[in-house]
Amino acid sequence: MNTQSQTMPGRWFVGAILLVFVIWLATVLAVSREPAAYGVSVAAGESKFRDHCGACHIVEKGITTHHGPNLYDFGKIAGTRKPGLTAAQYVLESVLDPEAFVAAQNRHGMPRNLASNFTEADLRNIVAYVVSRGANANFEEISKLPIPDTVGVSESRVVRREDMELAERVLRERGGCLQCHALYRNAEYTIFAPALFGVGLSDEALLRESIVDPNKVISPAHRWVNVMLTSGKVESGKIVGQSPERILLVKRGDANDLVQVVIARDEIDEVDGQLEITTAVQSPMPTGLDKLLSEHELDVLIRMIRQLN
Ligand code: HEC
Ligand code: HEC
């Protein structure tokens, strides 16, 4: 009892010193992991993200978006996407050069020239924000990422959420464009008509003309044919399959939908021993679509197609 009461104050003292030291060390470590210590701001990154990326990328759990992939907790997976790239390097590359790597489950269509909207500091902040989602970001690394000067390098393009939603509505409902066109480059859906996003359609005048006056320039890969039948009927459409006995044609139905037609070769007229199949002079793309849309809808549609190419 006696010896104990003599050594207690000594132990208390050492314990207190140790505690102070541990608190000091923890503070130093915590501060040095703070983004501000490296001149990076997650909050500023979040705000830029909301304005420039949020039209396509949702960050709330479980909500699927129509355009960009959901980036909820993306910090956890960013570093596993592309071999050899850390999370921060991958996110930066995704913004600077989106086509450099597209994850297998994603569709193409991230705009290529977004980076020209941002200063170097903006880009670091955006990377810090995305990489911090669900993971501890390495702010020291982010502060040292090599970033080329991209400001103003190409025409700045901002994708606004209202525009995105309006364009989507026009493509799906008002203009019925998606009855024929796939949105994204994806071989199996582009047999009938070219994809609209990610395929290089960026010339504004040409885009407008393609929609307002589709017959003016017809892309050769998508020309349709007229098949003269012995019955006197003509079937117009695109040949998508042939066998020695039959031809498989895809044509436009009454509701502008796509309909498959099988035609036996012996139902087709012959001229000088050749089946009477001629190339159509009309584009399969219907005319008058622009009349269905308001000026504003047409403008937004064209802007969106340009931005996503
Ligand atoms: C117009 C739509 C759109 C906008 C705006 C957009 N993205 Fe994307 N983003 C996409 C699409 C589509 C993909 C998938 C294709 C790809 O990886 O390039 C994608 C992919 C990504 C990926 C890779 C995701 C993965 O699963 O590997 C990251 C990271 C990313 N975007 C970050 C951003 C950031 C940061 C911004 C804003 C500076 C931004 N995006 C703006 C559409 C968009
Ligand atoms: C019935 C099918 C169909 C519908 C509906 C349709 N398109 Fe098309 N579209 C095509 C085909 C086929 C082509 C390729 C032939 C051509 O160049 O005329 C094409 C061509 C285009 C092109 C030019 C692409 C290029 O590579 O030059 C654009 C842009 C376009 N369509 C946009 C639209 C928009 C926007 C809508 C809705 C308002 C729409 N299309 C509705 C079938 C359709």
Question: Is 121 a member of any domain?
Answer: yes
Question: Is 289 a member of any domain?
Answer: no
Question: Is 39 a member of any domain?
Answer: yes
Residues 155 and 166 in one domain: no
Distance of CA 72 to the CA centre of its chain: 16
> Does ligand 2 have an atom closer than 6 angstroms to the CB of 289?
yes
237 within 8 A of 251, measured Cβ to Cβ: yes
What's the pLDDT score for residue 66?
Answer: 62
Residues 166 and 303 in one domain: yes
Cα 179 to Cα 83: distance, rounded to the nearest angstrom? 38
Strands (E), 72-201: none
pTM: 0.69
User: CATH no. for residue 249?
Assistant: 2.30.30
Residues 189 and 108 in one domain: no
> Does ligand 2 have an atom closer than 6 angstroms to the CB of 202?
no
Residue 189: band (very low, low, confident or very high) from pLDDT cuts 50, 70, 90: low
Which tokens go with 293? Answer: 């849309």
Average pLDDT value for residue range 206-231: 90
95 within 8 A of 115, measured Cβ to Cβ: yes
Cα 74 to Cα 130: distance, rounded to the nearest angstrom? 7
Question: Is 21 a member of any domain?
Answer: no
Summarised one tens digit per residue, pLDDT across range 238-279 is 888 899 999 999 887 877 677 889 999 999 999 998 999 999
Question: Is 10 a member of any domain?
Answer: no
Atom of ligand 2 nearest to the CA of 292: 38
Residues 144 and 265 in one domain: no
Query: How many domains does the chain divide into?
Result: 3
Residues 190 and 229 in one domain: no
Strands (E), the chain: 225-228, 234-242, 246-252, 258-264, 270-271, 274-275, 277-279
> Does ligand 2 have an atom closer than 6 angstroms to the CB of 194?
yes
Residues 40 and 155 in one domain: yes
Please say which residue of 159, 176, 192 terminates a domain.
Answer: 159
Residue for token pair 């907790």 = 73
In this prediction, what percent of the chain has a pLDDT beyond 90?
41
Neighbours of 216 (CB within 10 A): 10
Scanning the chain, the segments in alpha helix (DSSP H) are: 2-33, 42-52, 74-81, 87-96, 120-131, 139-144, 161-169, 204-212, 289-292, 295-307
What's the pLDDT score for residue 220?
Answer: 81
Contacts of 108 (CB under 8 A, 6+ apart): 99, 102, 184, 185, 197, 198
What's the domain range around 270? 224-279
Edge to edge, the sheet with strand 258-264 lists 258-264, 246-252, 234-242, 225-228, 277-279
Question: Is 17 a member of any domain?
Answer: no
> Does ligand 1 have an atom closer than 6 angstroms to the CB of 82?
no
What's the pLDDT score for residue 172?
Answer: 87
Mutational test site, ligand 2, from 177, 250, 298, max ligand atoms within 8 Å of CB? 177
Residues 211 and 272 in one domain: no
Residues 72 and 196 in one domain: no
| Nearest CA residue ID for atom 12, ligand 2 | 193
Which tokens go with 138? Answer: 């390495």
Q: Which has the closest alpha carbon to 114: 93, 84, 134?
A: 93
Residue 7: band (very low, low, confident or very high) from pLDDT cuts 50, 70, 90: low
User: CATH no. for residue 79?
Assistant: 1.10.760
Residues in the chain: 309
Average pLDDT value for residue range 2-23: 71
Summarised one tens digit per residue, pLDDT across range 108-167 is 778 877 888 899 999 999 999 999 999 999 999 999 999 988 777 776 667 788 888 899
Residues 54 and 153 in one domain: yes
Question: Is 11 a member of any domain?
Answer: no
Q: What is the DSSP letter of 119?
A: -
Residues 174 and 139 in one domain: no
Cα 161 to Cα 184: distance, rounded to the nearest angstrom? 19
Q: Which ligand is nearest to the CA of 116?
A: 1
Cα 154 to Cα 139: distance, rounded to the nearest angstrom? 28
CA of 126 to the centre of ligand 2 (A): 36
Residues 68 and 125 in one domain: yes
Q: What backbone torsions phi and psi does residue 271 show, to the nearest 5 degrees?
A: -125, 120
Q: Which ligand is nearest to the CA of 192?
A: 2
Which tokens go with 156? Answer: 């700045």
Residues 57 and 88 in one domain: yes
Residue 199: band (very low, low, confident or very high) from pLDDT cuts 50, 70, 90: confident
